[in-house]
């Protein structure tokens, strides 16, 4: 989507709504809650605001009927597109990625974060570092998303953040255009060369989403047809924001209330 001036307020409102819901949802993450219960809350809050959970029924070539839930919830070695399940109760020391989308007056937002379940002290320090580096990679990607730069500059900035960390970028997955549909052009790889790819122009609405593991990068799709997991059982982190590039600034539309 290339936003026009009359789209900007609607995009900002859509992003504020998603940021607030995602933060509220992360606040519900605790020992014993199931991933399906979290999904039910997310859908309820989106609908209470008069908006649509746009991942529900979304089907980019997957099983018939599309994704059955509002929120993709991926735990530990699940990487993305995790299917919420009643029998998947969270344990202290797990990490959970919440990836949520909504459509507000036709403006589509996409955002994700990964958080520890319970006390962070129960999570391996290397895994906490993976979360911190991935959140930082997202910030570096956002900083590189400026009018006149290229998509490859974002990819490169994200890749650079992981240099020397020992973590693996999941190269099969990446960011994308968004705003009018869940997935639009261009694909935004989380690795690449500066000065390559499409030029970044005013009005672009982009979802940036670094995804990395504390092991190898190879992923497979589980028998449910949706859930990506790591092949080696390593754990994964995923942070995502939808941004709007304007002539003189880049706006993080899905910024959460507690984020700076
Ligand atoms: Mg997402
Ligand atoms: Mg996305």
What is the structure's pLDDT at 27?
Answer: 98
For position 260, what pLDDT does the model report?
81
3-state secondary structure of 186: strand
The pLDDT, as a whole number, for residue 13 is: 98
- How far is the C-alpha of 159 from the C-alpha of 181, rounded, in Å? 26
Q: What is the pLDDT of residues 119-140, one digit of tens each?
A: 999 999 999 999 999 999 999 9
Sole residue written with tokens 């672009």? 204
User: Average pLDDT for residues 188-207, to the nearest whole number?
Assistant: 98
Determine the distance separating the centroid of ligand 2 and the alpha carbon of 112, expressed in angstroms: 8
Cα 27 to chain centroid distance, Å, stands at 17
Residue 83 Cα to ligand 2 midpoint, Å, equals: 16
Does the pLDDT value for residue 62 go beyond 90? Answer: no
- Residue 125 alpha carbon to ligand 1 centre in Å: 25
> Residue 63: pLDDT above 90?
no
What is the reported pLDDT for 112?
98
- Three-state secondary structure call for residue 105: coil
Q: Are the beta carbons of 236 and 171 closer than 8 angstroms?
A: no
- The CB-based long-range contact list for 91-96 (8 Å cut-off, 24+ gap) reads 91/31, 91/117, 92/31, 92/117, 92/118, 92/119, 92/122, 93/117, 93/118, 93/122, 93/123, 94/123, 95/123, 95/127, 95/131, 95/235, 95/237, 96/29, 96/35
pLDDT tens digits, 98-118 = 999 999 999 999 999 999 999
Is the pLDDT at 60 greater than 80? The verdict is no
> Residue 59: its pLDDT value, please?
79
- pTM (predicted TM-score): 0.97
What is the rounded distance in angstroms from the CA atom of residue 176 to the CA atom of residue 109? 11
**pLDDT at position 180, please?**
94
> CA 242 → CA 85, 100, 182, distances in Å?
26, 11, 11
Q: What is the DSSP string of 191-227?
A: S--TT-SSBP-TTBEEEE--EEESS---EEE-TTSS-
Confidence (pLDDT) at 89? 96
The answer to whether 211 and 236 are in contact (CB under 8 A) is: yes
Edge to edge, the sheet with strand 71-75 lists 71-75, 95-104, 107-116
Q: Which residues surround ligand 1, an ion (CB under 5 A)?
A: 99, 110, 112, 240
Q: Tell me, in angstroms, the distance from the centre of ligand 1 to residue 111's CA.
A: 5
The reported pLDDT for the residue numbered 49 is 98
Q: Give yes or no for a contact between 234 and 77, defined as CB atoms under 8 angstroms apart.
A: yes
| Distance in angstroms (rounded) separating the CA atoms of residues 23 and 28 | 9
Residue 166 CB: number of other CB atoms within 10 A?
Answer: 11
Whether residue 159 is predicted with pLDDT greater than 90 in this model: the reply is: yes
CA of 100 to the centre of ligand 1 (A): 6
List the alpha helices (DSSP H) in the chain: 8-26, 35-48, 125-144, 151-162
Identify which ligand lies nearest to the alpha carbon of 113: 1
Please give the pLDDT value at position 64.
80
Distance CA 254, CA 64 (A): 30
Q: Which range, of 9-18, 56-65, 76-85, 245-254, averages the lowest pLDDT?
A: 56-65
Tokens for 82?
A: 């995790």
User: Mind listing the domains of the chain with CATH numbers?
Assistant: 5-252 (3.90.230.10)
């Amino acid at each position: 989507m290339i936003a026009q001036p009359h789209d900007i307020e609607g995009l900002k409102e859509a992003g504020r709504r998603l940021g607030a819901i995602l933060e509220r949802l992360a606040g519900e993450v605790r020992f014993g809650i199931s991933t399906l219960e979290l999904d039910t809350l997310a859908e309820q809050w989106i609908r209470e605001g008069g908006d649509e959970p746009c991942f529900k029924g979304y089907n980019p070539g997957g099983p018939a009927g599309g994704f059955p839930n509002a929120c993709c919830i991926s735990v530990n070695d699940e990487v993305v597109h995790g299917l919420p399940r009643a029998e998947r109760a969270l344990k202290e020391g797990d990490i959970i990625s919440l990836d949520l989308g909504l459509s507000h007056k036709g403006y589509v937002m996409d955002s994700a974060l990964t958080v520890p379940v319970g006390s962070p002290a129960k999570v391996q320090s290397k895994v906490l570092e993976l979360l911190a580096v991935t959140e930082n990679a997202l910030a570096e990607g956002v900083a590189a998303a400026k009018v006149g730069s290229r998509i490859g500059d974002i990819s490169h900035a994200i890749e650079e953040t992981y240099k020397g960390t020992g973590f693996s970028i999941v190269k099969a997955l990446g960011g994308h255009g968004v705003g009018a549909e869940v997935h639009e052009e261009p694909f935004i790889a989380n690795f690449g060369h500066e000065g390559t790819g499409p030029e970044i122009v005013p009005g672009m609405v982009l979802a940036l989403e670094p995804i990395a593991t504390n092991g190898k990068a190879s992923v497979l799709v589980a028998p449910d047809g949706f859930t990506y997991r790591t092949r080696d059982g390593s754990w994964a982190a995923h942070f995502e924001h939808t941004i709007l590039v304007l002539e003189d600034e880049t706006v993080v539309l899905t910024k959460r209330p507690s984020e700076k």
